[in-house]
Structure 1
């Protein structure tokens, strides 16, 4: 019995180094992840694939695109495993940074110039011509959003927070949640009460949701207001205004007419831990070098590998300041008229 006990004890002692090494290996693996989103989402399928080879070219090997539940989980992973890289909607990142300033001192945005995701506010009611019309009637409109935990709904919550006298007045009872963005589009298309839907989506004309929006002939409300354009993170604008192609049309109009829409978008942010959160020495030096190297990569080398998507991103037109000012002024005028009508 004593001999058996001694043998068992020796086996346990022999296994201890391997057991101790396992968490360290797991932590190292997590630190080599590029955290994206859903397996079929744009972050994972379009925007992440150019990053591992770009890192490998400067001998940061072993990084892999890794699925997640989206921006919020990517933030958690970067905080727990310094060295991990994450993709995020910049507006959701900004919202969390304002809520958790101490934690976000441990993170840094590497770059935000790859692409910009459109904010799509849709309705059958074409009398809602500007965001001001929606702001002025916000207490009475029914809104349809993707699931509560989605990045789109987090974006909508951020819009409500930075616009307390407009979108901030939306009653919780007037918000319902769809299964996903596709369901939001279908519910809006079937609505008879002038409901307004909202989701965040990279504007690729071949994307199923963008195609569905066009097929259902839904009206796009430009998400542009003074409150929205004042939003900042690290002294950089959280939103910009662009014109997007929703459908390309065909030659001589065959296959449908082309359609564009102008709205705000939030940049795709790539972030990681600040070097100072890592131990002094090679780990900290490597993290500092990783950040610098990624910032130096020409943006063209980080565009999606599909040439059509790369051309689409490169060809997106950012509106002039004069045009943006005109949209803001129109929204404010519409808001005043709408508020007078309901008060």
Structure 2
């Protein structure tokens, strides 16, 4: 009798352990900061697509594009959201990345490159040629060193000899802290990468502070290509202020370089052949690639207005802007 009770108790305990034991962890989708658009706007839409197909993923915050790439390298089943130019930069530094990471898609939207300075610097820092020309003496402020903005800046330095001379570069806790440094006179130029949404509070604040936008575009930037020949950057005309906010001598629109937002994951070949994990990975990639792009784009007013405001640049207009950049760079070099 005692034996039967002991056996029953042991079996019941084992059954209970099976019931309350820890569930398998969901695969992560690395986004960015909790207040950012990756986490708040784009991540949830990707999560919905995956959950409809019974994939188990969850959103994870991170320091940004650089960290997201590293996380996917460490865990092939993870998904990361990153600026495509940052992925290209990392791949150039470590060619093995191209074999270990798959781009699921990079056609959802673009992020654009911005530089801002004060009114006092407006006449000297008229375009990116002038910024690069003065780079050795200009004080630059950026967000965290692992952020997409900081990685982009380092990429620009890698192919621009004048910009590479910049030695007064401060990496701060956030993009807003970098902007504050310029407003407070502790830096001359803040550089950041952002969705071109002029209704965003950051743009409103920049306009309230009467900051000057410096277009980040030149011939070197537009010549950058990926291994497959695709352009790393496209020039777009973007709004930098919403209607009614421009109450000073600033501009409403600029032409600047923009780079696609990429969804990345581990190459399925990194997982055991024939395994459930590899089969799921292959199917996940296929499903996300085939879903209509509209299902991955926010329906919120800010995003739709942003799409409406983006404009291609005419060849004549772009050439005029690029020539002005060339002239500024050459005049400072003399």
| TM-score, structure 1 normalization | 0.82
Q: Which residues in structure 2 correspond to 1:281-320 (within 5 Å)? A: 281=274, 282-320=276-314
Gaps of 5+ in 2: 1-9
Match of 2:47 in 1: 52
CA contact (8 A) 2:65 2:146 kept: no
Measured after TM superposition, the shift of residue 65 of structure 1 is 2.1
Match of 1:105 in 2: 99
Which stretches of structure 1, 4 residues or more, deviate above 6 A after TM superposition? none
Is 2:217 aligned against 1:224?
yes
Q: Give 1:115's match in structure 2, choosing from 109, 114, 117.
A: 109
Is 2:318 aligned against 1:324?
yes
Q: Give 1:276's match in structure 2, choosing from 263, 269, 277.
A: 269
Q: 1:296 to 1:176 in 2, by over 3 A?
A: same
CA contact (8 A) 1:60 1:290 kept: no
Match of 1:166 in 2: 162
Q: Which moved more, 1:307-316 or 1:68-77?
A: 307-316
Match of 1:3 in 2: none
Match of 2:148 in 1: 151
Match of 2:66 in 1: 72
Measured after TM superposition, the shift of residue 260 of structure 1 is 2.3
Counterparts of 2:315 and 2:289 in 1: how far apart (Å)?
Answer: 27
Is 2:265 aligned against 1:265?
no
CA contact (8 A) 1:89 1:269 kept: yes
Measured after TM superposition, the shift of residue 151 of structure 1 is 2.4
CA contact (8 A) 2:217 2:255 kept: no
Q: Give 1:215's match in structure 2, choosing from 208, 214, 217.
A: 208
Match of 2:122 in 1: 126
CA contact (8 A) 1:46 1:305 kept: no
Match of 2:76 in 1: 82
Per-residue displacement from partner, 1:255-290 (whole Å, max 9, x unpaired)? x99822321122111111112112222433332222
Counterparts of 2:315 and 2:62 in 1: how far apart (Å)?
Answer: 37
Measured after TM superposition, the shift of residue 250 of structure 1 is 4.1
What SS does the aligned partner of 1:247 have?
Answer: coil
Q: 1:275 to 1:320 in 2, by over 3 A?
A: farther
Counterparts of 1:243 and 1:112 in 2: how far apart (Å)?
Answer: 20
Is 2:331 aligned against 1:334?
no
Per-residue displacement from partner, 1:161-219 (whole Å, max 9, x unpaired)? 121x221121x2x22333321122222123288x1221122222232221111111111
Q: How many residues align?
A: 315
Q: What do you get for the CA RMSD once the two structures are aligned?
A: 3.0
Measured after TM superposition, the shift of residue 332 of structure 1 is 1.0
Match of 1:38 in 2: 33
Match of 1:25 in 2: 24
Measured after TM superposition, the shift of residue 133 of structure 1 is 1.2
Counterparts of 1:61 and 1:321 in 2: how far apart (Å)?
Answer: 45
CA contact (8 A) 2:112 2:194 kept: yes
Counterparts of 2:186 and 2:66 in 1: how far apart (Å)?
Answer: 34
Is 2:180 aligned against 1:186?
yes
Measured after TM superposition, the shift of residue 79 of structure 1 is 2.0
Measured after TM superposition, the shift of residue 60 of structure 1 is 4.0
Q: Give 1:136's match in structure 2, choosing from 133, 136, 139.
A: 133
Q: Which moved more, 1:320-329 or 1:151-160?
A: 320-329
CA contact (8 A) 1:181 1:209 kept: no
What SS does the aligned partner of 1:101 have?
Answer: coil
